[in-house]
Amino acid sequence: MGERVRAALAAEPAAQLGAAIEAAGHPRLGEALEGGVRVSSDLAAGLGEADVAIAFATPAASLALARAAAERGVPCAVGTTGFGAGEREELERLAGKIPLVVTANFSVAVVALRFLTRRAAELLGPGYDVEIVELHHAAKVDAPSGTALELAAAVAEARGERLADRQVLARQGHTGARPAGAIGIQALRGGDNPGEHTVLFLGPGERLELVHRATTRDHFAHGALRAALWLRGKAPGRYGMEQVLGLG
């Protein structure tokens, strides 16, 4: 994703690369990039050169970047999934110091999918069963995907319910009939797939499918850069891509 963000920056006249941070011991440390930037593991120095930061990393590394950014007043766009409850709580606290966009998916089309999913759930009502299927590359370490959970949350929100009360993440053995109102989420892993999400509304004699398929990671990078540019001058707070796109 770092490479794709660099490519997006190269096509954006309103921004330029200020720093490139990698983990200590990374084989590309010291490599020269555009604009005289060198790949570094010095987070503090990198943020000193930045007006806004973009984080695509593990939850721990992204949280460390957001923490350091908050200390220096640098807005931050975070595209990381798999945060634990305590980590999410800390992000909320950090949002009291700086503007933060935190999202499971920077794709503008995925934002549209989430909007359509919520609207479909409102229109179809509780008489339709909902199943969400996501497919990602074999190296993805968290399941289900953050995007799948956000889609499920959109359904629950439209029904006036809590996702935690309705989600079903696994089925095995003699499970009995499907509970009324359940929201199923199934995760598939394999190959190098950047990400696919399918939301199925299953009713009597018919079904509606809403699908997003990613074939590259470029749209994630362009969405992250769009969010980063939007953050400049914003008040501290936790924001989502809906606000970036003017939808909420």
| Class of CATH domain 2-102+217-244 | alpha beta
3-state secondary structure 30-56: CCECHHHCEEECCHHHHHHCCCCEEEC
Q: Rounded to an integer, what distance in angstroms lies between the CA atom of residue 153 and that of residue 181?
A: 13
Q: Rounded to an integer, what distance in angstroms lies between the CA atom of residue 171 and that of residue 181?
A: 16
Instruction: Give the active site residue among 136, 197, 212, 222.
Output: 136
Query: What pLDDT is attached to residue 59?
Result: 93
- Closest of 108, 128, 78, 116 to residue 198, by C-alpha: 116
- Closest of 219, 230, 213 to residue 51, by C-alpha: 230
Query: What pLDDT is attached to residue 247?
Result: 82
Provide the residue-wise pLDDT of the chain in tens; the chain has 248 residues.
999 999 999 999 999 999 999 999 999 999 999 999 999 999 999 999 999 999 999 999 999 999 999 999 999 999 998 899 999 999 999 999 999 999 988 999 999 999 999 999 999 999 999 999 999 999 999 999 999 999 999 999 999 999 999 999 999 999 999 999 999 999 999 999 999 999 999 999 999 999 999 999 999 999 999 999 999 999 999 999 989 998 86
Query: What pLDDT is attached to residue 108?
Result: 93
Instruction: Give the active site residue among 26, 97, 137, 140.
Output: 140
Q: Rounded to an integer, what distance in angstroms lies between the CA atom of residue 25 and that of residue 40?
A: 10
Q: Rounded to an integer, what distance in angstroms lies between the CA atom of residue 125 and that of residue 96?
A: 37
Domain coordinates in residue numbering, the chain: 2-102+217-244, 108-214
Query: What pLDDT is attached to residue 171?
Result: 92
pLDDT digits (tens, 9 = 90+) for 210-223: 999 999 999 999 99
- Listed in sequence order, the residues at least 6 apart from 184 whose beta carbon sits closer than 8 Å to its beta carbon are 129, 130, 131, 132, 167, 168, 171, 178
Query: What pLDDT is attached to residue 81?
Result: 86
Q: Rounded to an integer, what distance in angstroms lies between the CA atom of residue 98 and that of residue 95?
A: 5
Query: What pLDDT is attached to residue 104?
Result: 87
Instruction: Please report, for residues 120, 121, 170, 202, 207, the alpha-carbon distance to residue 156 in angstroms, rounded to integers and kept in the order given.
Output: 12, 8, 18, 16, 18
Q: Rounded to an integer, what distance in angstroms lies between the CA atom of residue 96 and that of residue 77?
A: 15
Based on the residue annotation, tell me whether 234 is a catalytic residue of this protein. no
What's the CATH number for 108-214? 3.30.360.10
pTM for the full model? 0.81
pLDDT digits (tens, 9 = 90+) for 100-140: 999 988 999 999 999 999 999 999 999 999 999 999 999 99
Query: What pLDDT is attached to residue 67?
Result: 96
Query: What pLDDT is attached to residue 156?
Result: 98
Based on the residue annotation, tell me whether 140 is a catalytic residue of this protein. yes
Q: Is 118 within 8 Å of 208 (Cβ atoms)? A: no
Give the H or E element holding residue 184: strand 183-189
